[in-house]
Amino acid sequence: MTTTPIQNTVAVALHYDKKGAPRVVAKGRGTIAAKIVEVAQEHDVPIQENEVLAGALSNVEIGDEIPAELYKAVAQVLIFVMRLSGRLR
Protein backbone atom coordinates (compact mmCIF):
# COMPACT_ATOMS: atom_id res chain seq x y z
CA MET A 1 0.00 0.00 0.00
CA THR A 2 1.10 3.56 -0.54
CA THR A 3 0.46 6.80 1.28
CA THR A 4 -1.09 8.50 -1.74
CA PRO A 5 -4.71 9.67 -1.64
CA ILE A 6 -7.07 6.74 -1.07
CA GLN A 7 -8.44 6.62 -4.63
CA ASN A 8 -4.92 5.91 -5.95
CA THR A 9 -3.97 3.41 -3.25
CA VAL A 10 -3.34 -0.19 -4.32
CA ALA A 11 -3.22 -3.17 -1.97
CA VAL A 12 -2.48 -6.78 -2.81
CA ALA A 13 -2.61 -9.69 -0.36
CA LEU A 14 -0.49 -12.77 -0.93
CA HIS A 15 -0.66 -16.27 0.49
CA TYR A 16 2.28 -18.65 0.47
CA ASP A 17 1.83 -22.21 1.68
CA LYS A 18 5.31 -23.36 0.56
CA LYS A 19 3.80 -25.23 -2.40
CA GLY A 20 4.60 -23.56 -5.68
CA ALA A 21 4.77 -19.77 -5.79
CA PRO A 22 2.85 -17.32 -3.60
CA ARG A 23 -0.70 -16.60 -4.80
CA VAL A 24 -2.66 -13.38 -4.97
CA VAL A 25 -5.63 -13.80 -2.63
CA ALA A 26 -7.00 -10.25 -2.62
CA LYS A 27 -6.37 -7.02 -4.49
CA GLY A 28 -8.01 -3.69 -4.92
CA ARG A 29 -7.76 0.07 -5.28
CA GLY A 30 -9.15 2.92 -3.24
CA THR A 31 -11.65 1.90 -0.58
CA ILE A 32 -11.15 -1.81 -1.35
CA ALA A 33 -7.41 -1.38 -0.81
CA ALA A 34 -8.11 0.39 2.47
CA LYS A 35 -10.33 -2.51 3.57
CA ILE A 36 -7.63 -5.06 2.67
CA VAL A 37 -5.16 -3.15 4.84
CA GLU A 38 -7.71 -2.80 7.65
CA VAL A 39 -8.42 -6.54 7.70
CA ALA A 40 -4.70 -7.33 7.61
CA GLN A 41 -4.09 -5.03 10.57
CA GLU A 42 -6.99 -6.55 12.52
CA HIS A 43 -5.39 -9.99 12.08
CA ASP A 44 -1.80 -8.86 12.77
CA VAL A 45 -0.75 -9.63 9.20
CA PRO A 46 2.48 -7.77 8.38
CA ILE A 47 2.16 -5.04 5.78
CA GLN A 48 4.95 -3.78 3.59
CA GLU A 49 4.47 -0.63 1.54
CA ASN A 50 5.84 -1.02 -1.99
CA GLU A 51 3.91 0.92 -4.61
CA VAL A 52 5.78 -0.53 -7.59
CA LEU A 53 5.40 -4.15 -6.48
CA ALA A 54 1.74 -3.66 -5.54
CA GLY A 55 1.10 -2.18 -8.98
CA ALA A 56 2.75 -5.15 -10.70
CA LEU A 57 0.93 -7.67 -8.51
CA SER A 58 -2.40 -5.96 -9.15
CA ASN A 59 -2.21 -7.31 -12.70
CA VAL A 60 -2.23 -10.92 -11.43
CA GLU A 61 -5.65 -12.55 -11.21
CA ILE A 62 -6.92 -13.53 -7.77
CA GLY A 63 -6.01 -17.15 -7.11
CA ASP A 64 -3.10 -17.16 -9.57
CA GLU A 65 0.53 -17.66 -8.61
CA ILE A 66 2.78 -14.67 -8.97
CA PRO A 67 4.76 -14.56 -12.23
CA ALA A 68 8.41 -15.64 -12.24
CA GLU A 69 9.62 -12.10 -12.96
CA LEU A 70 8.29 -11.02 -9.53
CA TYR A 71 9.84 -13.89 -7.52
CA LYS A 72 12.83 -11.86 -6.30
CA ALA A 73 10.75 -8.87 -5.18
CA VAL A 74 8.19 -11.08 -3.43
CA ALA A 75 10.97 -13.13 -1.81
CA GLN A 76 12.24 -9.90 -0.25
CA VAL A 77 8.74 -9.29 1.16
CA LEU A 78 8.62 -12.84 2.55
CA ILE A 79 12.00 -12.29 4.24
CA PHE A 80 10.62 -9.05 5.74
CA VAL A 81 7.57 -10.93 7.07
CA MET A 82 9.66 -13.78 8.46
CA ARG A 83 11.95 -11.34 10.26
CA LEU A 84 8.96 -9.52 11.78
CA SER A 85 7.50 -12.80 13.00
CA GLY A 86 10.81 -13.89 14.51
CA ARG A 87 11.13 -16.92 12.23
CA LEU A 88 14.24 -15.44 10.59
CA ARG A 89 17.06 -13.43 12.12
Q: What is the pLDDT of residue 46?
A: 87
pLDDT surpassing 60 at residue 4: no
Q: Give the separation between CA 3 and CA 9, rounded to whole angstroms.
A: 7
Q: Give the separation between CA 21 and CA 48, rounded to whole angstroms.
A: 19
Q: What is the pLDDT of residue 11?
A: 96
pLDDT band at 26 (very low <50, low <70, confident <90, very high): very high
At residue 9's C-alpha, the angle toward residues 82 and 68, to 5°, is: 50
Alpha-carbon dihedral angle through residues 54, 58, 64, 66, given to the nearest 10 degrees: -40
Full set of structural domains in the chain with CATH: 6-85 (3.40.1690.10)
The overall pTM is greater than 0.95: no
Q: For 40-82, what is each residue's pLDDT tens digit?
A: 999 988 898 999 999 999 999 999 999 999 999 999 988 988 8
